Protein backbone atom coordinates (compact mmCIF):
# COMPACT_ATOMS: atom_id res chain seq x y z
CA UNK A 1 0.00 0.00 0.00
CA UNK A 2 1.02 3.59 -0.50
CA UNK A 3 1.17 5.72 2.60
CA UNK A 4 -1.73 8.01 3.38
CA UNK A 5 -5.36 7.27 3.85
CA UNK A 6 -7.50 5.04 1.66
CA UNK A 7 -9.07 7.47 -0.81
CA UNK A 8 -12.53 7.19 -2.31
CA UNK A 9 -13.32 9.64 -5.11
CA UNK A 10 -16.82 10.23 -6.46
CA UNK A 11 -16.78 11.49 -10.05
CA UNK A 12 -20.14 13.07 -10.82
CA UNK A 13 -19.21 13.48 -14.50
CA UNK A 14 -21.64 15.65 -16.51
CA UNK A 15 -24.57 14.81 -14.26
CA UNK A 16 -26.78 16.60 -11.78
CA UNK A 17 -29.57 19.08 -11.34
CA UNK A 18 -30.03 21.58 -8.52
CA UNK A 19 -32.45 19.11 -7.03
CA UNK A 20 -30.37 15.96 -7.39
CA UNK A 21 -27.24 17.70 -6.08
CA UNK A 22 -29.17 18.93 -3.05
CA UNK A 23 -30.37 15.36 -2.41
CA UNK A 24 -26.95 13.80 -2.87
CA UNK A 25 -25.32 16.37 -0.59
CA UNK A 26 -27.94 15.67 2.08
CA UNK A 27 -27.24 11.96 1.68
CA UNK A 28 -23.52 12.51 2.07
CA UNK A 29 -24.04 14.81 5.06
CA UNK A 30 -26.06 12.05 6.70
CA UNK A 31 -23.39 9.37 6.19
CA UNK A 32 -21.06 8.49 9.01
CA UNK A 33 -17.67 8.58 7.30
CA UNK A 34 -14.76 7.03 9.19
CA UNK A 35 -11.89 9.45 9.71
CA UNK A 36 -9.31 7.05 8.27
CA UNK A 37 -10.64 7.52 4.72
CA UNK A 38 -10.22 10.50 2.39
CA UNK A 39 -13.42 11.17 0.47
CA UNK A 40 -13.07 13.41 -2.55
CA UNK A 41 -16.24 14.52 -4.30
CA UNK A 42 -16.11 15.86 -7.87
CA UNK A 43 -19.24 17.69 -9.01
CA UNK A 44 -19.45 19.64 -12.28
CA UNK A 45 -18.00 23.16 -12.27
CA UNK A 46 -21.55 24.46 -12.12
CA UNK A 47 -22.35 22.53 -8.97
CA UNK A 48 -19.03 22.94 -7.15
CA UNK A 49 -20.14 26.11 -5.35
CA UNK A 50 -23.35 24.54 -4.16
CA UNK A 51 -21.56 21.44 -2.97
CA UNK A 52 -18.93 23.57 -1.23
CA UNK A 53 -21.59 25.60 0.58
CA UNK A 54 -23.73 22.66 1.59
CA UNK A 55 -21.37 19.74 2.23
CA UNK A 56 -20.41 19.25 5.84
CA UNK A 57 -17.92 16.98 7.47
CA UNK A 58 -14.88 15.36 6.02
CA UNK A 59 -15.63 15.74 2.31
CA UNK A 60 -13.00 17.29 0.09
CA UNK A 61 -13.92 18.75 -3.27
CA UNK A 62 -12.41 18.17 -6.68
CA UNK A 63 -12.96 19.74 -10.07
CA UNK A 64 -13.13 17.37 -13.04
CA UNK A 65 -10.72 19.38 -15.16
CA UNK A 66 -8.58 22.51 -15.19
CA UNK A 67 -6.95 24.56 -17.93
CA UNK A 68 -3.39 23.75 -18.95
CA UNK A 69 -1.95 27.16 -18.01
CA UNK A 70 -2.79 30.54 -16.59
CA UNK A 71 -6.34 31.70 -17.23
CA UNK A 72 -7.17 34.35 -19.82
CA UNK A 73 -8.67 34.22 -23.30
CA UNK A 74 -9.71 30.55 -23.10
CA UNK A 75 -13.47 30.59 -23.46
CA UNK A 76 -15.21 27.79 -21.61
CA UNK A 77 -12.22 26.82 -19.50
CA UNK A 78 -11.62 27.10 -15.76
CA UNK A 79 -8.08 27.67 -14.53
CA UNK A 80 -6.20 26.00 -11.72
CA UNK A 81 -5.66 29.32 -9.95
CA UNK A 82 -9.41 29.96 -9.99
CA UNK A 83 -9.98 26.62 -8.30
CA UNK A 84 -7.38 27.37 -5.63
CA UNK A 85 -8.84 30.83 -5.12
CA UNK A 86 -12.33 29.30 -4.78
CA UNK A 87 -11.08 26.86 -2.13
CA UNK A 88 -11.18 23.67 -4.19
CA UNK A 89 -8.21 21.50 -3.19
CA UNK A 90 -8.33 18.74 -5.84
CA UNK A 91 -8.66 18.26 -9.57
CA UNK A 92 -9.17 15.08 -11.61
CA UNK A 93 -7.05 15.15 -14.76
CA UNK A 94 -6.70 12.80 -17.71
CA UNK A 95 -9.99 10.98 -17.27
CA UNK A 96 -10.40 8.53 -20.15
CA UNK A 97 -13.58 10.27 -21.27
CA UNK A 98 -11.56 13.45 -21.86
CA UNK A 99 -8.68 11.53 -23.42
CA UNK A 100 -10.97 9.77 -25.88
CA UNK A 101 -13.86 12.21 -26.47
CA UNK A 102 -11.93 15.47 -26.30
CA UNK A 103 -8.66 14.04 -27.60
CA UNK A 104 -6.49 15.00 -24.65
CA UNK A 105 -3.03 13.61 -25.34
CA UNK A 106 -0.63 12.15 -22.79
CA UNK A 107 1.50 15.29 -23.12
CA UNK A 108 -1.44 17.64 -22.58
CA UNK A 109 -2.43 15.72 -19.44
CA UNK A 110 1.19 15.94 -18.27
CA UNK A 111 1.26 19.71 -18.78
CA UNK A 112 -2.07 20.16 -17.05
CA UNK A 113 -0.83 18.13 -14.11
CA UNK A 114 2.28 20.26 -13.80
CA UNK A 115 0.33 23.50 -13.95
CA UNK A 116 -2.33 22.36 -11.47
CA UNK A 117 0.35 21.28 -8.99
CA UNK A 118 2.18 24.58 -9.45
CA UNK A 119 -0.99 26.38 -8.37
CA UNK A 120 -1.30 24.28 -5.22
CA UNK A 121 -3.93 21.79 -6.35
CA UNK A 122 -3.76 18.09 -5.58
CA UNK A 123 -4.22 15.96 -8.66
CA UNK A 124 -5.97 12.65 -9.26
CA UNK A 125 -4.27 11.67 -12.52
CA UNK A 126 -6.16 9.00 -14.45
CA UNK A 127 -4.51 6.41 -16.64
CA UNK A 128 -5.86 3.27 -18.26
CA UNK A 129 -5.92 1.07 -21.34
CA UNK A 130 -8.74 0.36 -23.77
CA UNK A 131 -10.06 -3.15 -24.38
CA UNK A 132 -8.32 -3.22 -27.73
CA UNK A 133 -5.01 -2.33 -26.12
CA UNK A 134 -5.51 -5.00 -23.43
CA UNK A 135 -6.30 -7.62 -26.05
CA UNK A 136 -3.17 -6.61 -27.95
CA UNK A 137 -1.11 -7.09 -24.78
CA UNK A 138 -0.19 -3.42 -24.65
CA UNK A 139 -1.40 -2.64 -21.14
CA UNK A 140 1.94 -1.85 -19.54
CA UNK A 141 3.23 -0.03 -22.61
CA UNK A 142 0.16 2.24 -22.68
CA UNK A 143 0.26 2.96 -18.95
CA UNK A 144 4.01 3.59 -18.99
CA UNK A 145 3.59 6.16 -21.77
CA UNK A 146 0.80 7.90 -19.85
CA UNK A 147 2.92 7.95 -16.69
CA UNK A 148 6.07 9.06 -18.52
CA UNK A 149 4.28 12.09 -19.98
CA UNK A 150 3.42 13.17 -16.43
CA UNK A 151 6.90 12.35 -15.08
CA UNK A 152 8.41 14.48 -17.83
CA UNK A 153 6.65 17.56 -16.46
CA UNK A 154 6.78 17.17 -12.68
CA UNK A 155 9.41 16.48 -10.05
CA UNK A 156 7.34 16.28 -6.90
CA UNK A 157 4.67 13.56 -6.62
CA UNK A 158 3.55 14.36 -3.10
CA UNK A 159 0.23 15.84 -4.19
CA UNK A 160 -0.53 13.28 -6.88
CA UNK A 161 -2.80 10.25 -6.68
CA UNK A 162 -2.79 7.85 -9.64
CA UNK A 163 -6.17 6.43 -10.65
CA UNK A 164 -5.87 3.27 -12.71
CA UNK A 165 -9.08 3.08 -14.69
CA UNK A 166 -9.20 0.43 -17.41
CA UNK A 167 -11.41 2.04 -20.05
CA UNK A 168 -13.26 -1.24 -20.64
CA UNK A 169 -14.37 -1.25 -17.01
CA UNK A 170 -15.64 2.33 -16.78
CA UNK A 171 -19.40 2.48 -16.61
CA UNK A 172 -19.69 -0.95 -18.19
CA UNK A 173 -20.40 -3.11 -15.17
CA UNK A 174 -17.31 -5.14 -16.19
CA UNK A 175 -14.97 -4.80 -13.24
CA UNK A 176 -11.34 -5.85 -13.36
CA UNK A 177 -10.88 -8.90 -11.16
CA UNK A 178 -8.97 -8.19 -7.94
CA UNK A 179 -6.03 -10.16 -9.42
CA UNK A 180 -6.12 -8.22 -12.70
CA UNK A 181 -6.26 -4.90 -10.88
CA UNK A 182 -3.55 -5.90 -8.40
CA UNK A 183 -1.22 -6.98 -11.21
CA UNK A 184 -1.52 -3.59 -12.87
CA UNK A 185 -1.23 -1.65 -9.60
CA UNK A 186 1.92 -3.61 -8.74
CA UNK A 187 3.30 -2.78 -12.17
CA UNK A 188 2.59 0.92 -11.64
CA UNK A 189 4.31 0.86 -8.24
CA UNK A 190 7.28 -0.90 -9.83
CA UNK A 191 7.37 1.76 -12.54
CA UNK A 192 7.67 4.42 -9.83
CA UNK A 193 10.41 2.41 -8.15
CA UNK A 194 12.42 2.26 -11.36
CA UNK A 195 11.65 5.59 -13.02
CA UNK A 196 11.08 7.92 -10.10
CA UNK A 197 12.32 6.86 -6.66
CA UNK A 198 11.64 3.98 -4.22
CA UNK A 199 10.33 6.61 -1.77
CA UNK A 200 7.67 7.78 -4.21
CA UNK A 201 6.87 4.15 -5.10
CA UNK A 202 6.25 3.44 -1.42
CA UNK A 203 4.20 6.51 -0.71
CA UNK A 204 2.09 7.21 -3.79
CA UNK A 205 -1.55 6.22 -3.62
CA UNK A 206 -2.77 4.18 -6.60
CA UNK A 207 -6.54 3.94 -6.68
CA UNK A 208 -8.72 1.76 -8.90
CA UNK A 209 -11.70 2.91 -10.94
CA UNK A 210 -14.10 0.98 -13.14
CA UNK A 211 -17.43 -0.49 -12.09
CA UNK A 212 -16.59 -0.63 -8.39
CA UNK A 213 -19.72 -1.56 -6.49
CA UNK A 214 -20.94 -2.86 -3.18
CA UNK A 215 -20.16 -6.45 -3.94
CA UNK A 216 -16.68 -6.12 -5.43
CA UNK A 217 -15.29 -3.23 -3.33
CA UNK A 218 -14.00 -5.18 -0.38
CA UNK A 219 -12.09 -7.76 -2.44
CA UNK A 220 -10.48 -5.00 -4.47
CA UNK A 221 -9.65 -2.97 -1.35
CA UNK A 222 -7.97 -6.02 0.14
CA UNK A 223 -5.35 -6.11 -2.62
CA UNK A 224 -1.84 -5.11 -1.65
CA UNK A 225 -1.42 -2.19 -4.03
CA UNK A 226 -4.95 -0.77 -4.16
CA UNK A 227 -5.13 2.43 -2.12
CA UNK A 228 -8.65 3.55 -2.89
CA UNK A 229 -11.32 3.89 -5.57
CA UNK A 230 -12.70 6.31 -8.09
CA UNK A 231 -16.35 5.78 -8.90
CA UNK A 232 -19.01 7.58 -10.88
CA UNK A 233 -22.08 9.33 -9.66
CA UNK A 234 -25.05 7.07 -9.68
CA UNK A 235 -26.71 4.96 -7.10
CA UNK A 236 -23.48 3.02 -6.57
CA UNK A 237 -21.43 5.99 -5.43
CA UNK A 238 -24.03 6.97 -2.91
CA UNK A 239 -24.08 3.33 -1.78
CA UNK A 240 -20.31 3.17 -1.71
CA UNK A 241 -20.19 6.16 0.59
CA UNK A 242 -22.76 4.63 2.88
CA UNK A 243 -21.48 3.68 6.33
CA UNK A 244 -22.21 -0.03 5.91
CA UNK A 245 -20.11 -0.10 2.78
CA UNK A 246 -17.37 1.94 4.41
CA UNK A 247 -17.16 -0.64 7.16
CA UNK A 248 -16.62 -3.33 4.58
CA UNK A 249 -13.87 -1.34 2.96
CA UNK A 250 -12.10 -0.35 6.15
CA UNK A 251 -12.29 -3.85 7.59
CA UNK A 252 -10.17 -5.11 4.71
CA UNK A 253 -7.42 -2.54 4.97
C1 LIG B 1 -15.15 6.88 -13.61
O2 LIG B 1 -15.79 7.47 -14.47
O3 LIG B 1 -14.13 7.41 -13.15
C4 LIG B 1 -15.63 5.57 -13.15
C5 LIG B 1 -14.86 4.80 -12.45
O6 LIG B 1 -16.90 5.25 -13.53
P7 LIG B 1 -17.73 3.93 -13.07
O8 LIG B 1 -17.65 3.86 -11.58
O9 LIG B 1 -19.11 4.21 -13.57
O10 LIG B 1 -17.13 2.76 -13.75
* Predicted confidence (pLDDT) per residue in 31-59, tens digit: 877 788 999 999 999 999 999 999 998 89
* Predicted confidence (pLDDT) per residue in 144-169, tens digit: 999 999 999 999 999 999 999 999 99
CATH code of the domain containing 185: 3.20.20.70
**The pLDDT of residue 241 is above 70:** no
Is ipTM beyond 0.85? Answer: yes
Q: Which domain holds residue 227?
A: 6-251
Q: Which of 95, 185, 242, 245 is catalytic?
A: 95
The number of distinct structural domains making up the chain is 1
Q: Is position 19 within any domain?
A: yes
Q: What is the model's pLDDT at position 252?
A: 40
Please tell me which residue, 141 or 240, carries the higher pLDDT value. Answer: 141
Q: Is position 1 within any domain?
A: no
Q: What is the model's pLDDT at position 32?
A: 77
**The pLDDT of residue 13 is above 90:** yes
User: Rounded CA gap, 228 and 204, in Å?
Assistant: 11
Contacts of 139 (CB under 8 A, 6+ apart): 129, 133, 184
Whether residue 224 lies in the annotated active site:
no
Confidence grade of residue 248 (pLDDT, cut at 50, 70, 90) = low
* Predicted confidence (pLDDT) per residue in 66-103, tens digit: 999 999 999 999 999 999 999 999 999 999 999 999 99
Which amino acid residue places its CA nearest to atom 8 of ligand 1?
231
Which amino acid residue places its CA nearest to atom 2 of ligand 1?
232
Q: What is the model's pLDDT at position 85?
A: 98
User: Rounded CA gap, 18 and 8, in Å?
Assistant: 23
- The DSSP result for 72-111, as a single string, is SS-TT---HHHHHHHT--EEEE--HHHHHHS---HHHHHH
Q: Which atom of ligand 1 is least distant from the CA of 231?
A: 8
Residue 72 CA, ligand 1 centroid: distance in Å: 31
Q: Which residues line ligand 1 (CB under 6 A)?
A: 11, 165, 170-171, 209-212, 230-232
**The pLDDT of residue 253 is above 50:** no
**The pLDDT of residue 134 is above 70:** yes
Q: Is position 222 within any domain?
A: yes
Please tell me which residue, 122 or 37, carries the higher pLDDT value. Answer: 122
Residue 90 backbone dihedrals phi, psi, to 5 degrees: -125, 155
Amino acid sequence: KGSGKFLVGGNWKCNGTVDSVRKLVADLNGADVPSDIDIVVAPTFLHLGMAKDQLKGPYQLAAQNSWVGKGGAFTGEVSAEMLTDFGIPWVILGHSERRSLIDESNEFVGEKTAYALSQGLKVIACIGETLQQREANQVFEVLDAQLTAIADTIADWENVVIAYEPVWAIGTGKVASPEQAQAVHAHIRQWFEEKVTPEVANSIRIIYGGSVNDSNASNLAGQEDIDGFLLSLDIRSAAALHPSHQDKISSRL
